[in-house]
Structure 1
Amino acid sequence: MRDAVQKTPKPTLAVVARRAGVSAPTVSKVLNGRTDVSAETRARVVRALEEAGYESPRQRRAAGAVGNGPPVIEILIGSLGAGYMTEVLGGLLDYAAELGIETVVSKTSGLSARRPTAEGRARRMVEEGRRGLLVVAATARDSQLNAFLRRKIPVVVIDPHNTPSNVVSVGATDWAGGKSATEHLIELGHRRIAFVGGAVTLDCNLARLHGYMAALMAAGIPADEPYIIHGQFLAEHGVRGLTALLSLSAPPTAVFAANDLIASGILAEARRRGLTIPWDLSVVGFDGSYPAEESVPRLTTVNQPLNAIARTALDSLLRQIDGEPFDAKRTELATKLIVRDSTAAPPTYV
């Protein structure tokens, strides 16, 4: 009689985290080569990884551990118009190629239009043998995502418009980023600070708004309603937003734009009106995408670690494909304020 072979379960990030005495996101940072981990913590995590015998998705891919060939995943995006989307998609494709993963990119307005849209897409993914779905910056409600989960298709959402409760999502620390942007303007001496953001229904936009409001409250500055404008994450909204703000009897001396596209529209409209940035008006963006470095003047912005977000999301999806349990439903990577040329002290004539 042949002895039964007992399979040892593969160690998960949660197991490694417990061994190292850190959180699972910290282990993920070490695996992704992030620099915002101390040398002592990194050494402890590396030791725990080795002791646990943890294999990263890259190692498993090299060993051919999943299936009989490279898995095919689908990436669902809304628009390529923004620098943010281009950088996240580029990060996903580069990392997938590095791991030997096949990718199919689909452009859509999202999963929120009608339920049959999600159902049809899920059926097609099963028929075509695709192993997982990455949704980037799109509306992805639980009711739509359930169509994929019912068919055992792993899903990860990057920077969701509305954070789902039933799948893993990856994004940035939007609240902290909004707070740091506003604190920077306050430290420069500004007191009339406006917020020009995206749709009021978007979680990331609300988090950035709430960070802005928290910074104002901490400084004893009222968050006046006329200074808060919602719309879309588009340059045209920056133009319209600045136009509305400049019509006020006491226009702002600084604007926190909730993304770099809005900020670019504000810069363009300011130039058209003969305003000099930053001496007449200071502007801070959010994303840290490549257009921020190339704008005139170069844009002060809250940098999202877009490449690290892409790599973390793909690793999370591959761990699900490999049958690992969730370490956390929501992962947020730290933002960092990058001060450039579009901010300065308020003008002396106000």
Structure 2
Amino acid sequence: MQSDVAEDNSERVTLADVAEEAGVSLSTISKVLNGRSDVAGATRERVEELLRERGYMRRGGRAQPKAELIELVFHELDSIWSMELINGVESVAKEHGLSVVLTVSGSRHSPDPDWIEGVMRRRPVGVVLVFSDLAPEYRERLRARAIPFVIVDPAGDPSPDAPSVGSANWSGGLIATRHLIELGHTRIAAITGPEDMMCSLARLDGFRSAMNSAGLHIDPDWIQFGDFHAAGGRDRANTILAGPERPTAIFAGSDLQALGVLDAARASGLRVPEDLSIVGYDDIPLARWVTPPLTTVHQPLRRMGEEAARLVIRLSEETMESTPRMDLATSLVVRDSTAPPA
């Protein structure tokens, strides 16, 4: 097998040298370089660390070329919410002459293990991940191949060493609830997202802070965890509205949940906003076209995609001294689904 070589100042390093130092065969080195999965995790980490320390480059002193693309990874595609992020990433990629490849993998917390093998083969300029975090072993493998990554974080709280772009979820929950309180509502319920997602808890904490600051009672039966989807919002709203006393307003942790609340209200014979005020979260395009148009918290999803793409391109071009973390502001958009209580 012919060995590729690299320049390391005055020293010329071969793959045979790396194999000897790692105590493995040249075949194993080749498997690691080609992203093969049939290498033990500990062996892969040791080889990649040695390659990084020795400054290994492909034959001719040139790094293995990367594909002219940014990889955007979701755990699921929601046609409304996801498109805002996709459009943001695509607009910046186009400015830099790059294409976008879209991958769906894993759960909301992290992509599947087979995803990392694929991205090693594709070698994009960078990766934008819409997940709560990325497992340490995945981070190390991307870094070993000089593939930067950025987590777009509407859904969690990434590790301190993970570059990320997020939004002010606590402030969003606060301003939504304060809006209802300022209208005169005192009986307010909240339907948020999954209980194991940081953004769900942050938005709920903002709700609690506004209620506590106003000296208002929080009925524990009026706090519901959902799944950020319309059907879940409808089911949780039905539970709340079927109680012995109903709220005059509901803060929903997503616009899709708010649409489900709107459906539940109509099925219960309630008028919005005369009998029940509703506030959503995200400000997806559909929010302005439903009847009545939805009051909501604007989460800058498109800009989050743009900033994540800019950041991953920058990380591909330079080494930054600290791990970049960006939190974008949220704002209230008042439409017709909220009004003073009857």
Shorter-normalised TM-score: what interval?
0.7 to 0.9
**Alpha carbons of structure 1 residues 102 and 145: separation in structure 2 relative to 1, 3 Å:** same
State the Cα distance separating 1:149 from its structure 2 match: 3.3
* Structure 1 residue aligned with 2:101: 104
For 1:73, the equivalent position in structure 2 comes to: 70
Verify the 8 A CA contact 1:216 1:223 in the aligned structure 2. yes
SS of equivalent residue, structure 2 residue 265: helix
**Pair 1:344 & 2:342 matched:** no
Match of 1:152 in 2: 146
Q: Tell me the CA shift for residue 294 of structure 1.
A: 1.2
Q: 1:144 to 1:112 in 2, by over 3 A?
A: farther
Structure 1 counterpart of 2:216:
221
Q: Is the 8 A contact 2:131 2:153 kept in 1?
A: yes
Corresponding residue for residue 197 of structure 1: 192
1:130 to 113, 124, 149: 124
TM-score (ref. length: structure 1): 0.74
- Number of residues paired by the alignment? 279
Residue 328 of structure 1 and its aligned partner are, at CA, apart by: 4.6
The answer to whether residue 84 in structure 2 is matched with residue 90 in structure 1 is no
Contact 1:158 1:170 (8 Å CA) reproduced: yes
Residues 17-45 of structure 1: CA deviation (Å, up to 9, x unaligned) = xxxxxxxxxxxxxxxxxxxxxxxxxxxxx
User: 1:127 is aligned with what amino acid?
Assistant: R
Work out the CA distance in 2 between the residues paired with 1:181 and 1:111.
Answer: 25
- Choose from 153, 161, 170 the match for 2:165: 170
- Structure 1 stretch displaced more, 104-113 or 230-239: 104-113
Q: Report deviation, 1:346.
A: 0.9
Deviation at 1:164, TM superposition (A): 1.9
- How far the C-alpha of 1:329 sits from its partner, in A, is 3.6
Letter in 1 for 2:239: A
Instruction: Assess, with a 3 A threshold, how the Cα gap between structure 1 residues 218 and 307 changes in structure 2: closer, same or farther.
Output: same
> Which amino acid in structure 2 is aligned with residue 191 of structure 1?
T
Query: Would the aligned equivalents of 2:187 and 2:247 in 1 still touch at CA under 8 Å?
Result: yes
Determine the structure 1 residue equivalent to 2:244. Answer: 249
**1:261-340 alignment, distance < 5 Å:** 261-325=256-320, 328-340=323-335
Residue aligning to 2:36: none
5+ long unaligned stretches in structure 1:
1-65
How big is each residue's C-alpha offset from its partner over 1:177-221, in whole Å with a ceiling of 9 and x where there is no partner? 100000000000001111101101101111101100010111011
- Please name the residue that 1:28 is paired with: none
Q: CA deviation at 1:141?
A: 4.3
Deviations 1:280-306 (A, max 9, x none): 100000001101111111000000122
Q: Would the alpha carbon gap of residues 246 and 216 (structure 1) be closer, same or farther in structure 2, given more than 3 Å must change?
A: same
> SS state of the match for residue 310, structure 2?
helix
Residue identity (%)? 35
Q: Is the 8 A contact 1:192 1:254 kept in 2?
A: yes
Q: Quote how far apart the aligned CAs of 1:94 are.
A: 2.1
1:241 Cα offset (Å): 1.0
Give the TM-score of the pair, scaled to structure 2.
0.76
Check whether the contact 1:78–1:138 (CA below 8 A) recurs between aligned residues: no
Distance 1:146-1:82 versus aligned 2 partners, 3 A rule: farther
Shift of 1:264: 0.5
Distance 1:192 1:143 in 2: 47
C-alpha RMSD over aligned residues: 2.2
SS at match of 2:124: coil
Q: What's the offset of the Cα at 1:150?
A: 4.1
State the Cα distance separating 1:67 from its structure 2 match. Answer: 9.6
Q: Which runs of 5 or more residues in structure 2 are unaligned? A: 1-62
Deviation at 1:152, TM superposition (A): 3.1
